[in-house]
Structure 1
């Protein structure tokens, strides 16, 4: 299953002593880690990067903040978007906290098939007062676990993917000449120096942690993108649901749905599509809200959304053929798996 918040993380600290670390070194380190991941297809040759510079004495004082930079083949070559942002950060004088973040699309394996996730890993590199460099790697997929986040054993998936993660962690440690500190146990899993601990030994921290926590986390993330309103359909149902696939440029962003038995309707983001799935979801929720204002039932609202949607709305299109899921949970499972 794919999550919108990390299922685990690892941190490396590299002290420079008296060395004066500059923003370009944060960017170079992030890209070097990215290349280690790419060697195991855990990072595709594309991605998004951002850089921030904050005052060390007051981290609310942001001097530079640039997000969503596309990583070009040579990201730090003169004239690239990232090199310009790094140059702006490097021109500042004083004690700052410099952060470079890279979102890495990559592939997890199942029965030899590759499944792409737009945010398989994130790399965060921070420089504190120009003397301490901290690297944090986060992952958003449970393919490294012997038991997935819905409590199903997956020995084959684990065997295909866990060695790749272990090799990448070893490679990053070699690059940084430092061993990782695994992140704390969380609601999904317990990181270890070589990957994750086996939840079959002591049992998972929560039953069906994905269904328990991820669904509500995704809902909060979706609704944070649109104005608050009480003019809404119910979000949950025990009945089967009818749904349509929402696509952008041929890629599935998620599923807009309505209950067949009561007045519930909503949108499930395809987590593998990354941030774009949530952007699309904001548009779909606003369209459902407009239908609710018209007094339409949930199923009529679903039909109205499809019939009145432009063929391409900011390159966002709703499929013409409805499908049925036996439960909302089944549709959520579909949206969170592939």
Structure 2
């Protein structure tokens, strides 16, 4: 069972343009002899459980008792059911450092255990939050939890296992690769949420983050470069709000940063909005004033993306815009 990831560091997962409520990120794989070609088509009915960086592997030489793979990303990264099934059992109310076992043996904190067809079982550990209940029917790609660092863990990651039969584990990376899925990298079925952005990124998304952080009272240079100074400012923002201070802007940090905006608002939050709208095809002056021209740009963006066209920038408009 998983304890802490073997590597605490996370590689940058750059943001990409996406359609309505589609989660983005790039997983970093680790070479394994005998894996099928990644060009193999994905088998219907199976999904990658999340996106992120592969860290601790299945029964590695240094951890032969580790029965799954760890996929690291920022706290709150969505975690999805790898296939349709029934939630066998769950654990909730765990916390970082919790020594109690989950549904399977090991200190994996908040966790979900799902029964699938043909005797398969999947297991998802160290969750920040469990979003399903025992006995619930779930579909392939259904959201089952948010990535966290509960239990024996040194940073946010998913501990993922596949068994057949139960308590007889197999390498989940190879299992998914045989179905045309690259663990941590292939887009999950039905994925939703904000992208994860960290050091090494540059361009309009880091610039938006910098405006939003500055709008929340934290000093940061707005230059579009996500360097050590930007990461330190993000950590300061996260610490001040009781979030996991990893210096990465993932789903939970995004939702803490953004606020609803409408015509008449002004300041750095609006500058962040105007920067994002310009990246999506608008030609606005980034002046921090939410006037009629910015309202028209918001309405145009909402119309193009199938959103309610009200000119108000709420959580859904923000999540599609970024």
Structure 1-normalised TM-score? 0.28
Larger proportion of strand: 1
